[in-house]
Structures are given as structure tokens and as C-alpha cells.
Amino acid sequence: MNKRTLAFASLVLLLAVVMGAFGAHGLKSRIAPEALANWKTAVEYQFYHGIALLWLAGIDARLTTRVVTLCRTLFLGGIILFCGSLALLATREVLGTYGLTPVLGPITPLGGLFFIGGWGVLLVAALRKG
């Protein structure tokens, strides 16, 4: 089992639980319903990809180090870019960061591309192994 990937997975999932609780209890009454929906999307994708990292740590021995490292990097980049930008966009009302919207808006789909890239790397690795 890849301990580095396991550590990242644990951190990502820990933060997802904290963010989910914060959204449900700390943000629900402070931001618009649309913003709360964006927050929930960020948390959901963080959970999905945290679980993917956990799974990646478990199948480490079946993949090359390069594939594991690349997938981990792409998933973590996606979490930071996609989930992070969505969370910041969702809380701009509270944080007063409306000026960041033109910057954060384009970052969100870039993070989505990182997620797609990570899954694509796994697909190619699976097809090559078979």
C-alpha cells in the first residue's frame, strides 16, 4: 500500500467531512441556496476523489509508480482547483471576495480537466495491463 497516497486520501477525506459539517451548520443560514449547492458539489467531488485516492493507495502494487504518482497528482490538483475554487465561489458572499470571480470561474473547469486526466491515466494503464 502506498503510504503517501493513503496519507493524502486521509487528509482529503478528513477535510471533506469538516467542510460538509461546516456547510451544513455554519454556512446554511449565511449564503444563498445556489451558493450552498455549489459548496455541496465541492464537498461531494472532494469525497469522490478522496475515496479514489484511498483506492489508488490500495492497488498501488498493481500499477507502476509513475501511474500512481500521476493519478495522485491529477486528483489532488483537481481537488485543489475544482473543489477549492467552487468553495471560494460559494463563500464569496461571506468572504467579500466577489472580485475573485473572474479568476476563480475559469479555474473550476480546469480542475475538472485534472479529474478527467486522472481517470484517463487509469484507463490507459488498465488497458495496457490487460
Record the pTM. 0.94
**pLDDT in 10s for each residue of the chain, 130 residues:** 889 999 999 999 999 999 999 999 999 899 999 999 999 999 999 999 999 999 999 999 999 999 999 999 999 999 999 999 999 999 999 999 888 889 889 999 999 999 999 999 999 999 996 5
User: DSSP string covering 71-113, please?
Assistant: HHHHHHHHIIIIIHHHHHHHTHHHHT-GGGHHHHHHHHHHHHH
Tell me how far CA of residue 103 lies from CA of 48, 86, 91, in angstroms: 25, 12, 15
User: What is the model's pLDDT at position 130?
Assistant: 55
The residues, any chain, with a CB within 8 Å of residue 109's CB and separated by 6 or more, are 82
Among residues 55, 81, 51, 74, the alpha carbon closest in space to that of 121 is found at 74
Overall domain count for the chain: 1
% the chain with pLDDT above 90: 88
> 8 lies in which domain range?
3-129
Tell me the three cell numbers of residue 1: 500500500
Distance of alpha carbon 44 from alpha carbon 49, whole angstroms = 9
